[in-house]
């Protein structure tokens, strides 16, 4: 029975694991939408897997008593039943509004081989048999829900099965004799199978699938700093054409997770069904990531003279800074400088239709390097920059690229008199464009991981930018191992 449970669970896992399941909240940061087109494709692909696994299913033995011509009443047993061949011709997987999913198989058949034996007092006969089961129809309604932990749960709310025809042929000692009462055997075989099909499905969901769902992680590591929370916010929502799975979609610090001070926005998703799968990713996901990386100082930087290109006319020395700040060179002659940059607050992404942008506020403190590695602050700059964000998509994640604009610099504080900030902009622009932004782009190239099974590949994507969220539509294909 365990093997059959595994086979029947395959299709259900394909749907439920399109999103991996955490904490409850007001609005999801990520919505995974599966359309009827996507469900149809999953049903077809998983039916191929299910059909191959059915060969490993062990069917239950059955026995009974029958009146056999020439023998009278006798006891018969059918055992060692194995599925020799099968063909699952018709399948459907559809959203069931306000409930979950409806799965059906129709017009299918299986061929079963096994052994028989008959006892009549001291008479014992045995042999083998073939059974062809035709016109198999199965209809199952699945109720989808969520656990307080944020993991999904599933239950069979209804199940029915029907077999149109059963043909039995027996061979062996006096097998021809047993064929005389094949109608009785076929009728019993049909009743046994019809009663077992839904029990196998129910046991599959209760004993195999649901316990497995309880072992799924609700978070995933992104790197040494951050993880992502994919926990379910509520039970999946089904309409006539789509199944929506609402996920938290929060990026959190792996070192110390703390509550986020803002909520995810409400996302009004477009009514589109041309692709198999859609992902709606709100600014909440990206901005919680920004909080994490800002907290660990990922965007902070330090510039020393050895980082300046040898060909540059501007060095990080008080002598070279004579043009920027005359008094600095007099107070600290022939002394090296360091520039320490910090991002004032986590830069958030601004979403507007067709456009993504961000504004970063930085402070740069210049210090002279005194003997014994003592740093003496001499002036502080405020730096503002706007960047546009370009997004791309590959088969498993969304990646980004920053396209910065020219920075604006102002003097916040000086202990060495007048500082010509206009002349400093060239040096800072060079560093930001050649060092800081490439570092950020390398991180963005690692991408935002989408909740997917490893053997699913996405293709033919369409990416839209709406107010407060991205909307990615794509088709899927299974990668056969």
CATH number at residue 147: 3.15.10.10
CATH number at residue 442: 3.15.20.10
In terms of domains, do 235 and 332 share one?
A: yes
Q: Are residues 166 and 234 in the same domain?
A: no
Residue-level pLDDT at 13: 46
Whether 65 and 167 map to the same domain: the answer is yes
Same domain for 203 and 227?
Answer: no
Q: Where does a domain end: 214, 249, 269?
A: 214
Question: Does 208 lie in the same domain as 238?
Answer: no
Compute the half-sphere exposure of residue 108: CA atoms within 13 Å on the CB side of its CA: 23
Residue 18 inside a domain? The answer is: no
What's the pTM value of the predicted model, to 2 decimals? 0.78
Which of 344, 367, 374, 346 is closest to 358 using CA atoms?
346
Query: Within a domain: residue 61?
Result: yes
In a domain, 153, yes or no: yes
Given 214, 234, 260, the domain boundary residue is 214
Q: Which domain holds residue 238?
A: 219-478
Structural domains in the chain (count): 2
- Domain-ending residue, one of 179, 199, 214: 214
Q: How far apart are CA 320 and CA 316, in angstroms?
A: 7
In a shared domain, residues 244 and 340: yes
- Identify the helix (H) or strand (E) that includes residue 96: strand 90-96
pLDDT at res. 228: 93
Provide the token pair at 442. 């390398």
pLDDT tens, position by position, for the chain (481 residues)?
444 434 444 444 444 444 333 334 479 999 999 999 999 988 887 777 777 777 777 777 878 777 766 667 778 888 888 888 888 878 889 999 988 899 998 888 888 888 888 787 777 878 888 888 899 999 999 999 999 889 999 999 999 999 988 888 877 665 555 565 667 777 877 887 787 788 888 888 888 888 888 888 889 998 999 999 999 999 999 998 999 999 999 999 999 999 998 999 999 999 888 999 999 999 999 999 999 999 999 889 898 888 887 887 778 899 988 888 889 999 999 899 999 999 999 999 888 887 888 888 999 999 999 988 899 999 999 999 888 888 877 767 788 888 888 888 999 999 999 998 887 887 788 778 887 788 888 888 887 777 655 567 788 888 899 999 999 999 988 776 5
Give the HSE-up count for residue 60: Cα atoms under 13 Å, Cβ half-sphere: 15
The CB density around residue 445, as the number of other CB atoms within 10 Å, is: 12
Residues 258 and 337 both lie in one domain = yes
Residue-level pLDDT at 481: 55
- What gap in Å lies between CA 47 and CA 90, rounded to an integer? 9
């Amino acid at each position: 029975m365990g093997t059959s449970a595994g086979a029947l669970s395959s299709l259900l896992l394909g749907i439920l694991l399109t999103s991996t399941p955490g904490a409850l909240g007001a609005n999801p940061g990520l919505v995974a939408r599966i359309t009827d087109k996507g469900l149809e494709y999953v049903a077809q692909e998983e039916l191929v897997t299910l059909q191959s696994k059915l060969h490993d299913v062990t069917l239950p033995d059955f026995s009974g008593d029958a009146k056999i011509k020439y023998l009278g009443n006798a006891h018969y047993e059918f055992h060692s039943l194995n599925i020799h061949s099968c063909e699952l011709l018709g399948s459907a997987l559809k959203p069931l509004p306000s409930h979950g999913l409806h799965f059906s198989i129709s017009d299918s058949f299986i061929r079963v081989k096994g052994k028989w034996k008959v006892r009549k007092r001291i008479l014992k006969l045995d042999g083998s048999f073939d059974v062809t089961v035709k016109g198999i129809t199965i209809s199952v309604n699945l109720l989808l829900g969520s656990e307080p932990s944020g993991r999904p749960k599933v239950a069979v709310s209804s199940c029915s099965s029907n077999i149109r025809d059963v043909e039995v042929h027996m061979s062996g000692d006096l097998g021809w004799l047993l064929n005389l009462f094949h109608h009785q055997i076929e009728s019993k075989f049909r009743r046994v199978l019809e009663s077992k099909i839904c029990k196998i499905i129910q046991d599959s969901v209760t004993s195999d699938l649901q316990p497995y769902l309880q072992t799924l992680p609700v978070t995933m590591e992104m790197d040494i700093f951050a993880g992502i929370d994919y926990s379910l916010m509520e039970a999946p929502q089904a309409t006539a054409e789509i199944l929506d799975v609402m996920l938290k979609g929060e990026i959190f610090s792996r070192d110390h997770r703390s509550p986020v001070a803002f909520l995810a926005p409400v996302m009004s998703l477009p009514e589109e069904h041309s692709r198999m799968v859609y992902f709606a990713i709100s600014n909440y996901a990206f901005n919680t990531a920004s909080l994490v990386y800002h907290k660990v100082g990922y965007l902070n930087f330090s510039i020393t003279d050895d980082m300046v290109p040898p060909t540059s006319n501007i060095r990080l020395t008080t002598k070279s800074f004579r043009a920027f700040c005359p008094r600095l060179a007099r107070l600290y002659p022939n002394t090296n400088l360091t520039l320490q940059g910090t991002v004032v607050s986590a830069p958030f992404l601004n979403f507007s239709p067709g456009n993504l942008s961000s504004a970063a506020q930085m402070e740069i403190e210049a210090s002279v390097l005194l003997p014994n590695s003592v740093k003496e602050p001499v002036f502080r700059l405020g730096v503002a920059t706007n960047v546009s964000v370009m997004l791309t998509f590959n088969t498993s994640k969304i990646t980004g690229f920053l396209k910065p604009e020219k920075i604006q610099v102002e003097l916040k504080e000086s202990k060495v008199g007048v500082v010509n900030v206009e002349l400093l902009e060239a040096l800072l622009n060079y560093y930001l464009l050649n060092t800081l932004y490439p570092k950020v782009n390398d991180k963005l190239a690692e991408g935002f991981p989408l909740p997917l099974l490893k053997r699913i590949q996405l293709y033919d994507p369409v990416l839209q930018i709406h107010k407060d969220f991205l909307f990615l539509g794509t088709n899927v294909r299974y990668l056969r191992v």
